[in-house]
Amino acid sequence: MTKNTLFAAIISALLMLGGCSKTSGVGGAAGDATPDTLKANQHFADTLKLDDRQDFDDAKHGFIARPTGKILADDGSVLTDFDAFNFEQGAAPPTVNPSLWRHAMLNAQIGLFKVTDGIYQLRGFDIANITLIEGKSGWIVVDTLTCRETAAAAMEFARKQLGDKPVSAIVFTHSHVDHFGGALGVVSPEEAARRKIPIVAPVGFMEEATSENVLVGTAMARRSMYQFGKNLERSPKGMVDTGLGKGVGYGHVGILAPTQLITQDTQDLTIDGVHFVFHNVPGAEAPSELTFMIPDKKAYGGAENLAQTMHNLLPIRGAKARDSLRWSEYMDQALEQTADAEVYFGQHNWPIWGHARIAEFITMHRDVYKYTHDQTVRLTNAGYTPREIADAIKLPKSLESYFGARGYYGDLRHNAKEVYQFYLGAYDGNPANLNPLPPQESAKHYLELIGGADKAVAAAQSAYDKGDYRWAAELLNQVVFGQPDHKGAKELLARTYDQMGYMSESATWRNSYLTAAAELRNGPPAKGVDKAAMLDMLAQTPVERFLEAMAASLDGPAAEGKDLKINLVLNDSKESFVLWIENAVLHYKKTAPAADANATLTVSKGMFVKLIAGKAGLKDALTSDDLKVDGSKIDLVRFFSLLDKATGTFAIVTK
């Protein structure tokens, strides 16, 4: 076997990224709002005080300047278009829930803002905010957006308006990528090291930040396209918001390792002459997170435990389940921590001024999460199942009427299901759901019982005409899974999802429904989220995370009976691992190379990461001095051929 053939096999097996052609859809465009949708949206307009201007005053408060134009990726694709949401003015169009429209217009107040003396925010460059705090020698940067491109554009814009001050420190509030991924657009690793720039983060930050994006990153990235409406047009019939901000910058992701961890529950730290009081708040919004007070400025940074929306207890994209009871307890603590606060700012949405209003804001969030938790537990103990609880639970009017905690990002029904899952798991206790048929098989049985796909579609059309979209979607989903080539079912289901999206107050639900409709019409995307864009972050990721992901990609049935052992030697990081298959399970151990291994692959960590990310191709590998194979090349190929490569373009609403 030639080295060329060997690496073709290894690279094919290692790459977690790939493309597939679009499946055939039904074509067409999103429809207009039906009378039933108009009626449902009018209900929101009639029952909420949508003309309350306080939030608009807050969202515009301290405005300095607004950017125009676009932020582009290296390949010329658009990451952020500052003018894309200029249509969000005036009364809500028929195809957008009026409450969501109001929230979308608030998030559309983008640019550079003065929060208070010495504190500024950049909003609308990405889904999150950059907060700039003036230190003695430069800017203390709180969070760095999702990607290098948006962060660099934000910092350049700030310097044009505020002067060319250096970065004197970085604070990462938590371990979600939209808050650290743009670090290298703020400062380079070389500059950070040369100038010894303090980089502050909560304990556990690096472990959580890197692990979430490797092990199940492919599935999470695919599902994030639904949650954030990545491929939807920006229009009244498409994506209007994400709930937390205008959109995600899907550019180059990086990370900087902290130089200072906040390890105590409450920890004082002076950074570039500014006194911070940090509070560790792990296990609620993120596994690793901090909030802080700046006493001299009477300013409270709420990170993402607070936002101008009900948050997710379990995001649509998927994540570790979150503890709503702990979240409410953190909010109760925040009331004490903000006893002297006169301004709140978060890393999403807009700030709040005035102590009484800040206390009200925190109280409402505390009670939304506590109410959701307690009432879900009460109904669970009464024997209700997750779907029943989701339909039964309703916030009291005092909480429901508060715009700052309405479900623009999270949703009460989805959150109630999470609380049930948090304690009892996804199984609802009904034995019929212990071992149900796969969706495709059960769909075929239902269609046979109904009398065929055409009858099911006719019944769904009747439900659609009556505005019973949930039932129409349930029926049509059976047809699409049981008879995938039924174009009429796909088109009607797409139209049904249009209406469900138009009525949704939650931006993430709207984006999911409308993305589903688009994929029913046009098929899944041809390309997944590019892992090569994450190369800078992956380079900082411990090798163990990659090996965990490799183990989770082993084709178990194909590996049954296989007995293979491979040495992996990383010649630049001076690490070596033994990988072996036993009982169709891939194990690894950090240890010296095994003498009885079938083969030894010696490669630099940099090249190993590039191969996994798809950044290096066959030619790069062959011309590199960082690669060597000893032992049986055939066994090495056999080993890597047992690893699945996930494309990140799998179908969701069709099979």
CA separation for the pair 170, 142 (Å, rounded): 6
- What pLDDT was estimated at residue 91? 96
pLDDT tens per residue, range 172-207: 999 999 999 999 999 999 999 999 999 999 999 999
Classified as helix, coil or strand, 275 is: strand
DSSP string, 567-622: EEEETTTTEEEEEEEETTEEEEEESSPPTT-SEEEEE-HHHHHHHHHT-S-HHHHH
pLDDT tens per residue, range 239-266: 999 999 999 999 999 999 999 999 999 9
Average pLDDT, integer, range 285-293:
97
Which pair of structure tokens corresponds to residue 400? 């429901």
- What pLDDT was estimated at residue 121? 98
- What pLDDT was estimated at residue 4? 43
Neighbours of 373 (CB within 10 A): 23
Judged against a pLDDT cut of 90, whether residue 130 lies above it is answered with: yes
Task: Quote the percentage of the chain above a pLDDT of 70.
Answer: 93
CA 142 to chain centre: 19
447 and 483 Cβ atoms separated by less than 8 Å: yes
pTM for this model (two decimals): 0.92
Judged against a pLDDT cut of 90, whether residue 647 lies above it is answered with: no
Give the CA diameter of the chain: 76
CA atoms within 13 A on the CB side of 418: 24
User: Which carries the bigger pLDDT value, residue 268 or residue 545?
Assistant: 268
Judged against a pLDDT cut of 90, whether residue 489 lies above it is answered with: yes
DSSP string, 491-511: HHHHHHHHHHHHH-SSHHHHH
Beta-sheet pairing, 260-262 with 199-202:
parallel
Judged against a pLDDT cut of 60, whether residue 9 lies above it is answered with: no
Judged against a pLDDT cut of 60, whether residue 112 lies above it is answered with: yes
- What pLDDT was estimated at residue 453? 97
CA separation for the pair 486, 480 (Å, rounded): 7
- What pLDDT was estimated at residue 97? 98
DSSP string, 93-117: PTTS-HHHHHHHHHHT--EEEEEET
- What pLDDT was estimated at residue 546? 87
Q: Which residue has the tokens 């993120």?
A: 286
- What pLDDT was estimated at residue 539? 80
User: Sorting pLDDT into bands at 50, 70 and 90, what band is 27?
Assistant: low
Judged against a pLDDT cut of 90, whether residue 609 lies above it is answered with: no
- What pLDDT was estimated at residue 531? 66
CA separation for the pair 59, 352 (Å, rounded): 9
- Across the chain, mean pLDDT equals 92
Task: Please give the C-alpha separations between residue 597 and each of 525, 562, 578, in angstroms, as whole numbers.
Answer: 41, 14, 8
- What pLDDT was estimated at residue 538? 79
Judged against a pLDDT cut of 80, whether residue 5 lies above it is answered with: no
Angle at 51 between CA 48 and CA 56, to 5 degrees: 115
Which is nearest to 648 in space by CA: 209, 224, 320? 224
Average pLDDT, integer, range 604-633:
73
Classified as helix, coil or strand, 451 is: coil
- Work out whether the CA dihedral 353, 139, 537, 535 comes out positive or negative: positive
- What pLDDT was estimated at residue 11? 38
CA separation for the pair 535, 613 (Å, rounded): 6
- What pLDDT was estimated at residue 24? 46
User: Sorting pLDDT into bands at 50, 70 and 90, what band is 211?
Assistant: confident
Task: Quote the percentage of the chain above a pLDDT of 90.
Answer: 82
CA separation for the pair 624, 306 (Å, rounded): 48
Average pLDDT, integer, range 579-594:
97
Average pLDDT, integer, range 146-157:
98
- What pLDDT was estimated at residue 614? 62
- Work out whether the CA dihedral 77, 80, 84, 88 comes out positive or negative: positive
